[in-house]
Chain A
Amino acid sequence: MPDLLIELFSEEIPARMQKRAAEDLKKLVTDGLVEAGLTYAGAAARSTPRRLTLAVEGLLDKSPDTREDRKGPKVGAPEKAIEGFLRGAGLTRDQLEERDTPKGPVYFALIEKKGRPAAEIIAEVLDTTIRNFPWPKSMRWGAGSLRWVRPLHSILCILSDETGASVVPFEVDGITAGDTTEGHRFMAPDRFAVTGFADYEAKLKAAKVILSPDERADHIWAEAQNAAFAQGLEIVEDQGLLAEVAGLVEWPVVLMGDIADEFIPLPPEVLQTSMREHQKFFSVKNPKTGLIEKFVTVANRETTDHGATILAGNQKVLSARLADAKFFWENDLRVAETGGQAWLDSLSNVTFHNKLGTQGERIERIAQLARAIAPSVGADPDLAEKAARWAKADLSSEMVYEFPELQGLMGKYYAAPAGYPVEVASAAVEHYSPLGPSDDVPSAPVSVAVALADKLDTLTGFWAIDEKPTGSKDPFALRRAALGVIRLVLDNDLRLALDQLFDAQLLRHQIALNENGSVRDALLHDLDSEIADHGVIGAAIRTVLDHFDGDLSKHLEQVKDNLPDTSRDLLGFFHDRLKVYLRDKGIRHDVIDACLAMPNNDDLSLLVKRAEALSTFLTTDDGENLLQGVKRASNILAQAEEKDGVEYSYGADVKFAEADEETALFAALDKAEAAIKPAMEDEDFAAAMHAMADLRAPIDAFFEAVQINTDNQVVRRNRLNLLSRIRMICAGVADLSRIEG
C-alpha cells in the first residue's frame, strides 16, 4: 500500500496561522480521500514558515469497486417513470432485471462502479482543498486568481511504495505538482527531488530545515535554557512566544545578548513587553535580583561569525526600542511627579462611549461608587475615592499609549511619584482584576472597592442605555464584568446589597443621560442627585416638593417604576452568571433556584452560603428526611387549603392535641424552633437544616397515628395549622418546593 506525501511550498506563512493550517490540510485531504473510498493507516501534518506538509501512510492504491442493487418502478409502471429510473442508474432497459416481490414484479438494476486509481482521487481532493482552504486571511498575487495565504510557488505530491515514487499528475492555476522542493532560503536554496516522507524529512534537515514545529520549539527552549543557566540566569517562560518564534524560523539558532545598563532600571514588565512585542525576544532574568538583564533572540541561520553580526544588530535595535520606552517612562514620570492631573484633564476629552460620556465623567462616577462601597469592604472611603480617580489616569500616559497591555501596571509604578500611598498604587493595577475565570482576585480593601466600582459602573451604564449582551454578542465584556463582581464578592466574603448599589449607580447614569439642558431635565437632575446621595426618601422628597406642584406623581413614578426594573433586570443577569458559576462548582440548578427564591438574594455571599449548605445537606440522609418530611406536610396542607379556600396560618395549640404523636410533634417543633432561630441568626444554615431534619420522625409518626380529616372541625383546623407551622419553620432556609425528586 502506497504512502502519500504532499508539500505546499509558499512565501512566508504568518507564524500564528501555521499550526491551524497544518491541521486543516490534514483534515480536508484525509476527509476527501475517505469520502472517495480511499482509506489509510495514518496521517500527520507539519509546517514551517514556508511549507505545509502532509504525510499519509498506508493508503489504498485504488478505491474499491462498488455494487449497488437498486430497486426501481413496478413492472408495467408508466414509461416515464421507467425512463427516469434508467437515466439515474445509467443503464438501458435490457440491463434491468424483473423480480417478484410481495407487491408484484418490480424492476431492479445492478449498478457496478469500478474503483478509481488513488492518484486520480488525490488530484481531485487536493484541487478542492487548495481552492477552498480556510485561511483566516488569504490573498491573490500577480495576474492570477488563486487565493492562498501568500503566493504559492510549488507543490510536491508523490505516491511511493517499495517499487519507487511517482508524481501525482496535478495542476492548479499554473502550478504543476512535482517531486521536488527547496531547502533553507539562504543556507541551502537549491531544489532537490525526494522519494518519500523519510527521505523528504532527512534531506530537508540536510538542507537546514527542521520540519517539525515541536522539534524546533524544543530545540529553541533547550538551547535558550542552556545559555541562561551557564550564566546563572533563567529564561522567563513564554509559551506563546516560543510557538511564534518556532513559526518564524526553519533552522533556529539561539543567541543571547546584553541589555545596556541604562535600561535595566526600567520596570521589568516594560522591558519584557517591549522585547516580546517588538523584537520577539525572550527575557532573561537574574533570579537573585529579579531584574531582566539579558535577552535571547532566535536567528534563522548559522553564519561564519557564529552570529556575531546578527547579535550586534539585534542589540542595536533593542537599544533603539528601549530608548523609546525610556523616553516614555521619563516623560511619564515628569507628569506623575506633578500629581498626574494633566492625564486626568486629558481624559475629560476622551470619549468612553458616545452615550455614556467621557472617560473623565466615567472616572467621576466610579470614584463616587467606590466611596460608597468602601465601608462595606473595610476600605477607607477617602482612599478608595482617590484610588478610583487614579486607577484610569495611566490611560493617558505615553507608555500605555505605546503598550496598551501595560494599563494599570504603569498606574502602579507612577502612583508613588505622584504622591499616592501603596494602597492606591495596588488598586491601579488590581482594579482590572479578575479578568478571566482563573485570574487572581484582589483582596486589598481599596483595590476591591475600586474593582467593584469599575465593573458595576460599566454594567449599570450599559443597562441604563439598554445595550445588554445578546446571544454570543457581548462587545463590552459585560458577562466577564459580572463574573468579576461575583468572584470579588465571594472570594472576599463580602456582604453587599447589590440592589442598592445598582440603584445608586443607575441614577448617576440617569443624571448624565438627563443632561440635555431643559428645565424639566434640570429638575429631574436634582431629584436624581438627591436620591443617589440620600436614598428615596427624606431630602429627595423635599427637593421634589420644592420644585414640582401638580405633576409630582408622574416623575416619582418614573423614578420608582422605571429604575427599579432596570436594576432588577441587572440582578437577574447576575443570578444567571452565578448559576453558571455555581454549576461549575457542582451545585444543581434546582438548589440554586430554591435559594434564589429567598429574600435578600442580592447578597451574593449569603445566597451562596445558603446554596452550598443546602447542596451538601441534600446529599445526606438528613437531607432526604427533611425533604420528605416537608413535602408530606406541604402536600396535605396544600390540598386542604385548596379544598377549603383558606390559608392555614393560625398558630396551632397543643391543648387540642389528641394523640401522643400529635403532642410529640408539638414538642419536636418547639425544640426545632429553639435550635433553628439562633442558627438562622448566625446564618448557620447547616445547623438549621439539621434541626429541621430531626422533624422527619415525629412527622411520620404523626401521620401514622393521626387522621387529619376528622369530624371535629376544631381538631382538624388545629392539625392543619400544625402542618402550616412545619411549612413555615422549614421555609426559612430555602424554597424546598423547588427541589426536584
Chain B
Amino acid sequence: MGKARAMSDTRPKSFQEIILRLQSYWAGQGCAMLQPYDMEVGAGTFHPATTLRSLGSQPWAAAYVQPSRRPTDGRYGENPNRLQHYYQYQVLIKPSPPNLQELYLGSLQAIGIDMDLHDIRFVEDDWESPTLGAWGLGWEVWCDGMEVSQFTYFQQVGGYDCHPVSGELTYGLERLAMYILGVDHVMDMPFNDPSAPIPLSYGDVFKQTEEEYARWNFDIANTDVLLKQFEEAEAECKAILDQAHVDPKTGKRIVMAHPAYDQCIKASHLFNLLDARGVISVTERQAYIGRVRALAKLCADAFVQTRAGGWTDEDAA
C-alpha cells in the first residue's frame, strides 16, 4: 500500500498510463494480471476469470482489462461519453479481504486522484445480472458525483450461493480517465503520452470504429443471421455439456465448462446485437434473457464439477 501512494504524486498523462498504473497497483496487491478474454462480452464480469472463478471454494485473485461492447450505447463517436466499445478494468478477489475498500481507495490514489481534494462516496447499488443468474450487494463509487466504479460482494452466481464471497471491482476506464485527465470529450483523450513521437488520441484509435459499428449495429446487422447464430450457440452450449465427464479418448475426467461457457457468452452478445437492431419486443426480451440465464446456469453447474470449481476426487467417491 505504501508504495502505491508514492506513485500518485505525479498525475498520469494518458489513458494507457492509467491502465498501466492500475495493473501495477493490483499486481502489487498480489493479483494475477490476466489478459482480456478473447471474445465479445458486454462487461468484464463475463470473463470466465470472474463469472466461473467466483464459484466454488478455491481462493482467487485476478485483475485484467476487458474490452466490452454494448451495441445499444453506440453514438457514432459523437457523444462525449458514450461508446459501443469501451474498456473495463476488473478486479476479483475471493474471499473478499476485510480491507477491500481501503485497497480500492489506494488504487484511486495510484491513478492520480488526490483524496484531499475529491469527494469519494459509496452509494447503494445492488448488482444483478439477469443473464448470468447472478447478484450481489455493494455500491457504485462516486468521485465528485461521477460514478467511477462498481463495487460488489457477489452473493450468487449461476444460481449458486457464493461461498466464500468474492469482492468484485469494476472501473469504467474511459470515464475515469477522462475525469483524471480533465478531458471533456472521450475522443479528445490522449491515448498514449501526448509528447510521444506519434501522439494518438482516443479518437485516432476509435472514432472510425465507433462509426462503423454504430451503423452496423443499428441498421445493417443481418437479424436472420444473428437469430440463427443465437440458436446455434445455445444448441452447442447444451451439446457440449451433454457430453460424458470422462473423455473416451484420453480416459481423463474432462468437464468442458469453459468451451460451453464460450457459447453462453456468444449467445449473450448476439442477444445484445438483436436488441440494438430493435427486433426484440418487450415480452420476447424476457424470454431471451431467460434462455441465456439457463445456459449460464448450466455452465455454473459444470464448473463446480471441475477442479477449479472445487471438485475433488473425494467428490467422485
Contacts and interface: CB of A to CB of B under 8 A. Distances in A.
Interface of A: 11-12, 14-16, 49, 137-143, 149-151, 153, 186, 248-249, 279-281, 297, 299-301, 303-305, 309-314, 316-318, 320, 323-324, 327, 349-351, 354
A318 B124 contact: no
A11 B101 contact: yes
Contacts of A14: 124
Contacts of A350: 281-282
Among the interface residues A297, A311, A349, which one has the most CB atoms of the partner chain B within 10 A?
Answer: A349
B124 A16 contact: yes
Nearest to A297: B145
Contact of B119 (A140, A310, A327, A351): A310
Main secondary structure on A side of the interface with B: loop
Contacts of B143: 313
A313 B118 contact: yes
Contacts of A149: 137
B122 A11 contact: yes
B81 A320 contact: yes
Contacts of A301: 119
Nearest to B122: A12
A249 B142 CA distance: 12
B139 A12 contact: yes
A313 B138 CA distance: 23
Interface string B112-135: 001111111111101000000000
Given A140-B155, A142-B95, A142-B98, A317 B145 contact: yes
Contacts of B118: 303, 309-310, 313
B126 A137 contact: yes
12 contacts: A16-B124, A139-B165, A140-B153, A142-B165, A149-B137, A150-B138, A248-B123, A303-B116, A313-B119, A313-B144, A316-B144, A324-B82
B195 interface: no
Contacts, number: 114
A279 B144 contact: no
A297 B96 CA distance: 32
A149 B281 CA distance: 36
B258 interface: no
Contact of A141 (B82, B116, B165, B184): B165
A332 to B, nearest CB: 16
Given A143-B164, A313-B144, A351 B282 contact: yes
B97 interface: yes
B246 interface: no
A310 B81 contact: no
Contact of B283 (A281, A305, A312, A351): A351
B280 to A, nearest CB: 10
B179 interface: yes
B136 interface: yes
B79 interface: yes
Contacts of B167: 141
Contacts of A12: 122-124, 139
Given A140-B155, A316-B146, A310 B117 contact: yes
Contacts of A280: 123
Contact of B80 (A138, A300, A318, A320): A320
B98 A309 contact: no
Contacts of A309: 114, 117-118, 144
B121 A186 contact: no
Nearest to A359: B282
B281 A141 contact: no
Contacts of B138: 150
B163 interface: yes
Contacts of A137: 126, 137
A531 B97 CA distance: 71
Q: Which of A139, A150, A249, A309 has the most CB of B within 10 A?
A: A139
A139 B153 contact: yes
B121 to A, nearest CB: 6
Contacts of A297: 145
B117 A15 contact: no
A656 B145 CA distance: 94
A314 B115 contact: no
B122 A316 contact: no
A276 to B, nearest CB: 13
Nearest to B141: A12
